[in-house]
Amino acid sequence: MTVRPEESLDPESWDEFRSHSHQVVDELFDWLRTVRERPVWQPVPEEVRAALRRPLPVEGRGLEASWDEFRRSVLPYPWGNVHPRFWGWVNGIGSPSGALAELATAIINTNAGGGHQAAPYVEEQVIDWCKTMVGFPSDASGVLVTGGSVANLVALAAARDAGDPRICEEGLVALGGSPVLYASAQTHNSVDKAARLLGLGQRALRSVPVDPEFRIDLQALERAIAGDRAAGRRPFCVVGNAGTVNTGAIDDLAALAELCKRERLWFHVDGAFGALAALSDRLRPLVAGMERADSIAFDLHKWLHMPYDVGCVLVRDREAHRRPFATKASYLAREARGAAPNDHDPGTLGPELSREFRGLKVWMLLQEHGVAKYARLIEQNVEQAKYLAELVREHAELEVMAPVPLNVVCLRYVGKKGEGRRGKGEELDALNREVLIRIQERGIAVPSATSLNGRFAIRVAITNHRSRLDDFDLFVAAIADLGRELSAPV
Amino acid sequence: MTVRPEESLDPESWDEFRSHSHQVVDELFDWLRTVRERPVWQPVPEEVRAALRRPLPVEGRGLEASWDEFRRSVLPYPWGNVHPRFWGWVNGIGSPSGALAELATAIINTNAGGGHQAAPYVEEQVIDWCKTMVGFPSDASGVLVTGGSVANLVALAAARDAGDPRICEEGLVALGGSPVLYASAQTHNSVDKAARLLGLGQRALRSVPVDPEFRIDLQALERAIAGDRAAGRRPFCVVGNAGTVNTGAIDDLAALAELCKRERLWFHVDGAFGALAALSDRLRPLVAGMERADSIAFDLHKWLHMPYDVGCVLVRDREAHRRPFATKASYLAREARGAAPNDHDPGTLGPELSREFRGLKVWMLLQEHGVAKYARLIEQNVEQAKYLAELVREHAELEVMAPVPLNVVCLRYVGKKGEGRRGKGEELDALNREVLIRIQERGIAVPSATSLNGRFAIRVAITNHRSRLDDFDLFVAAIADLGRELSAPV
C-alpha cells in the first residue's frame, strides 16, 4: 500500500493566509460602506461574460489569482440589492454583521441537517422566535429553508397529505378524488410551482379573482369551493396572501381563517415579506387572522435582511408537518447518546438533508439588534412607501396605479394633465417600460416591472434599511425627467 | 407625513466594526488551524441547551454580546466535520479559502435567483464545469441547489413529467396510469422523500434487491419492470447509485444505461459523492456509464469540500428540466435590457426563486486549486479507505463487513479468533453500538452507524482532506481497546 505524501486544502502558510484575509475583509467592507457612491446597477459587459465561458481549470492558479478574477468579473456586477435605491422585486439587502456571521458559519462549516450538535438547538431557538414574531403557538412545528418558495412547498405538501394521509404512501393516482386548492390571482408563482411539483397539477390551483384593492374576492372563493364540491372534487386548502408581490395587498386573513374553519380546509398564509408586519404594533392589525393559519411561510432574508438565504415555514400540527418527509434510513438511525441525530431532526421536516447552518446568522443578528429595531425598520419602509406615493400623487405627470397598503408603490409616467396624455394603452406601456429600463441603465435606481389590470407598471418595493427620503425625491424627479425626455417630439 | 430620524443595520462606527472584524477573523481561522488539537466531538451540555431556550430578544445587546454568545453556546459544539478524524455519514469539511469566499458572497449578498448580473453567468460557468467533471454534454441543462436531496427531487420531477408531459398541468389524479420508479434497496432516503413529495407515493418506488457487493440486482430489476408492465402499471425511471451511503457501492451504471435505453426509461444517477470519482483517471472506470444518464445529482459540499451548502443537478434534455418549474409571473417578466431576468433564469429550473449566490465559492475555489488537486484528494481518501480496510483485516479482533469499492469501510469488533467470539447476533450489535458511541464521546473519532444484512456496523466514510494515515492507526487501536474493555468479564 503506497499513499503519496498527503496534501490538503489548508494553506501552506497560515500567516500569508491571515494577511490575505485581513486585506479582503477591509476591501469588502469598504466596498459595502461606499455603496451609495456607486451606480445601483450596471450591465455585465460582453467581455466579462466571455471571461465567464472558460474551460474547467485543471491546475490551480492560487488564492490571489482567484480573488483577482472575483474583483474583475463579479464584484462590479451585482444585482444592486445592497444599494439604497434598489427597490426591485422583493429583496433584502443584508448587513455587515450578517456577513461576519456567514463567515463564522462557513468556518465551522457544520452540516445542520441533524445530529447532536449546537446547530439544531440554535435553529429550534430561531424557529421558536419565529413563532413569537408571527403569533404562532409555541408547540407548532417549523423548519428553516432557503426561502419562501420552498417554505410554500413544504406547507402545501403538509396540507396535501393532511387532506388524505394515505397520499404520501400510496400516491395521488391510487387515491383519486381530485384535490383542489385556492389562491388569489395575485399569488406568488411559487404556489403554482408547488402545485405542479406535488403532482396536483397547475389545474388543481384555482386562481380566484381579486377586488379593486387586489385582495382575494371572498364571495368568488366561496362560489369556487361550492362548485368544486358539487362537481365531486375535493377542496383541501386555501392560500392567503400577507403582502402580494405585485402591490403588497393583504387578503382578509381573518375572514379566510373563518371560512377555512367552516369549510374544514387547510389555511396556509404566504407571508414572504408581509408576515413580518406583525412585528410592528402599528402594522399588526393589517395581518390579523394570520395567527390562526395552519401554516405560514415567510422569508428572513427579505424584511429582516439576513444574508441570503433563509426562510421559515411554520406548521401548527407537528405530525402533519413530518408526514410527507419522515422516512426511515439505516444510516440515519437515532441514538440517545453520541453524535447521531436525535429528536432535533430537520431532515424529517423538509426536502433537504445536508445543509448549511442557516439559523446561525438569524440567531446572532436578532440578539445583536433586537426585534424592536427590525420593527422600526419595517415601519420606516412602510412610511417611505406612503411618502413616495404622496410624491407621485402630487406630481403633475405621474400616477399611482394601485393602493399602497404596505411597502409597494406601483406608478407610471402619464404626462401633464390638461396637455393631453402622452399616449394611451400600449403606447403608454412602451413608454414606461423604456423609462424603467433607462433608470436602471443610468444606475439611478432599480425598481422592477409588473402588470396591473393589463397595464405596465413601474413597481417600487421597499425592503431596504439603507433607503432615505432623499432617495425617493431623487427617484421621482428622474422618472419624470425620463418620461418627458422619451415622450418629447423628436 | 412624519418620518422618524432614519436608522439602518449599518454600524454606527465603521472603524470599530473593522477592528471587530479583524479580531473575529483571526480568532476563527486560529480555531480552524488548531482543530486537530481538540476532541472531534463533545455533547452539548444541558446548561448550554438551556441557554438556547430564551425568549425572543426585544432590545439588542450589540455586536460584541452576540459574538460572546456564539463563543459560549455554538463554537465549542459543532458536529465535528472539520476535524481530521470525522468520518460520519458523508460530510465535506470545507476549507479556509472557502470560508473567505462565503464572506464575499454575504457582503455582495446578491439574490442569485435570476436577473441580469454576474451571478447567473458565474453559475452557468460552474454548471458547465460540472458537466465536464462528470462527462455530460455541454448542451445539457443544470442548476445549483442546496444538495443531493433537492438535486434528486429536481431530476425525478423532470423524469416524472417527461414520462407524461401533461402531469404538471393536469396532475397525477386526472391522468392515472400508476407511474413506477426503481432503485436498489441501498438507495438514499432522499429518493423516498422525492417519491412522496412528487405525489407518486412511497409505493411507486420499487426497492430492488442487491447482490453481495450491495449493487442493484439487474435480473431482479428486469423482473420487476416486466411484472409492473404486465400489471398495467407504467414504469418511467430507474435510479442508479454512484456510491451508496452505506458502503460506497456503485451500481453497474453501463448496464443500467443499456437497460433504460432498451426499456425506454429515464435513467437517473444519484452520485451524491461518488459521481466525483470521475475526476480521477484511476477511479473513473468505476462510474463508467454515468455519462449516459438522463440526469445526475451530486454534491459539491461533500467531496469537493465547498462550504455548505451546494449541490448540482444536470439534466440532459433542457425542455424536460424546465417543464415542472417554468411558470409565468407578471412581476418576473424577462427583458433584453436592464436588470430584469433574462435567459439565465435559475428560478425556472428548481423549486427555489430568491437564493444565495452559491456558485461563487465553487467558481473561486476551482480556480484557486484546480480540479487536478481535487482529483488527488479524492484518490487520497480512496487509498486511505483501502489502508484502513487492510488494517482491520489484519487485526485479530476486528472484521470488515462489506467490500470497499470506494471510500467507505464498514467494520466491527468481534473479539479474538480462536478464543470464542465475544457474543453473536444482537449481543455483538449492542457491543459495537457502545464502542461507536464511546469513541465519539471520548472525542477520538466520529464514524457513524449503519445496518448491513441486519447487523450493526461501524461505518467510516472518508471524505476528508485533513485525514492522515496516522489517524486510521489511532482509530483502529482505539476501537480494539474499546471492544476489549467493553467485552471483558465484569
CB contact under 8 A, B377 and A8: yes
d(CA A20, CA B23): 14
pLDDT confidence of residue A416: 85
Flag whether residue B365 sits within 8 Å of chain A, measured between CB atoms. Answer: yes
Residues B70-125 have pLDDT tens digits of 999 999 999 999 999 999 999 999 999 999 999 999 999 999 998 999 999 999 99
d(CA A296, CA A316): 9
For residue B331, the chain A residues in CB contact (below 8 A) are 89, 245-246, 448-450, 459
The topology under which CATH files domain B373-487 is Aspartate Aminotransferase, domain 1 (3.90.1150)
Residue B348 to chain A, least CA–CA distance (Å): 9
Rg (CA), chain A: 25
A59-89 b/e (C-beta count within 10 Å ≥ 16 → b): ebeebeebbebbeebbbebbbbbbbbbbbbb
For residue B92, the chain A residues in CB contact (below 8 A) are 109
CB contact under 8 A, A450 and B330: yes
CB contact under 8 A, A436 and B338: yes
Flag whether residue A333 sits within 8 Å of chain B, measured between CB atoms. Answer: yes
d(CA A81, CA B107): 11
* Phi, psi at B303, each rounded to 5°: -80, -5
CB contact under 8 A, A372 and B59: yes
Across the beta sheet with B311-315, the strand order is B141-145, B311-315, B295-299, B266-270, B234-241, B179-184, B205-208
CB < 8 Å from A in window 172-231 of B: 172-179, 188-190, 192-194, 196-204
d(CA A21, CA B23): 11
CB contact under 8 A, B308 and A26: no
Flag whether residue A329 sits within 8 Å of chain B, measured between CB atoms. Answer: yes
pLDDT confidence of residue B418: 55
Query: Mutual orientation of helices B371-394 and B359-369 as an angle, nearest 10°?
Result: 80
Q: Is the ipTM of this complex over 0.90?
A: yes
d(CA A388, CA A459): 12
Query: How does DSSP classify residue A332?
Result: G
pLDDT confidence of residue A421: 54
**CATH level 2 (architecture), domain A110-369:** 3-Layer(aba) Sandwich (3.40)
pLDDT confidence of residue B328: 79
CB contact under 8 A, A197 and B197: yes
pLDDT below 70 — which residues of chain B?
Answer: 1-4, 417-424, 490
For residue A9, the chain B residues in CB contact (below 8 A) are 95-98, 305, 369, 373, 377, 465
In order along chain A (490 residues), what is the average pLDDT of each group of 10 residues?
76 97 98 98 96 97 97 97 97 98 98 94 97 98 98 98 92 88 97 97 97 98 98 97 97 98 98 98 98 98 98 98 89 85 86 96 98 98 98 97 97 79 78 97 97 96 98 98 88
Flag whether residue A69 sits within 8 Å of chain B, measured between CB atoms. Answer: yes
Output the nine-digit C-alpha cell for A461: 418595493
pLDDT confidence of residue A71: 98
Q: Contact at 8 Å (CB) between B76 and B40?
A: no
List the one residue out of A343, A295, A354, A348 whose CA is nearest residue A325.
A348
Flag whether residue A304 sits within 8 Å of chain B, measured between CB atoms. Answer: no
pLDDT confidence of residue A3: 55
CB < 8 Å from A in window 123-182 of B: 124-125, 128-129, 132-133, 146-150, 153, 157, 160, 167-179
CATH 3.40.640.10 segments of chain A? 110-369
Strand partners, B297: B270, B313
Query: Mutual orientation of helices B189-197 and B148-163 as an angle, nearest 10°?
Result: 50
**CATH level 2 (architecture), domain A12-41+78-94+370-490:** Alpha-Beta Complex (3.90)
d(CA A2, CA A125): 49
d(CA B215, CA B210): 5
Query: How does DSSP classify residue B198?
Result: T
Nearest CB neighbour to A331, from listed B8, B62, B459: B459
d(CA B308, CA B358): 9
Flag whether residue B282 sits within 8 Å of chain A, measured between CB atoms. Answer: no
Nearest CB neighbour to A99, from listed B88, B107, B324: B107
- Chain A, nearest residue to B364 by Cα: A66
CB contact under 8 A, A108 and B21: no
List the one residue out of B196, B128, B190, B461 whose CA is nearest residue A113.
B190
d(CA A301, CA A318): 25
Flag whether residue A415 sits within 8 Å of chain B, measured between CB atoms. Answer: no
For residue B110, the chain A residues in CB contact (below 8 A) are 78-79, 81, 308
Q: Which amino acid appears at position A107 of this protein?
A: I
- Chain B, nearest residue to A146 by Cα: B355
CATH entry, B103-369, from 3.30.230.70, 2.40.128.20, 3.40.640.10, 3.40.50.2020: 3.40.640.10
Q: Would strands A408-413 and B205-208 be described as parallel, antiparallel, or unpaired?
A: unpaired
In terms of residues, how long is chain A?
490
Across the beta sheet with A455-461, the strand order is A86-87, A446-452, A455-461, A408-413, A398-400
A309 prior amide bond cis, ω within 30: yes
Residue B53 to chain A, least CA–CA distance (Å): 6
Cβ-Cβ contacts under 8 Å for A485 (sequence gap 6 or more): none
Residue B419 to chain A, least CA–CA distance (Å): 30
Nearest CB neighbour to A95, from listed B9, B190, B446: B9
CB < 8 Å from A in window 2-41 of B: 3-4, 6-11, 14, 17-18, 20-22, 24-26, 28-29, 31-33, 41
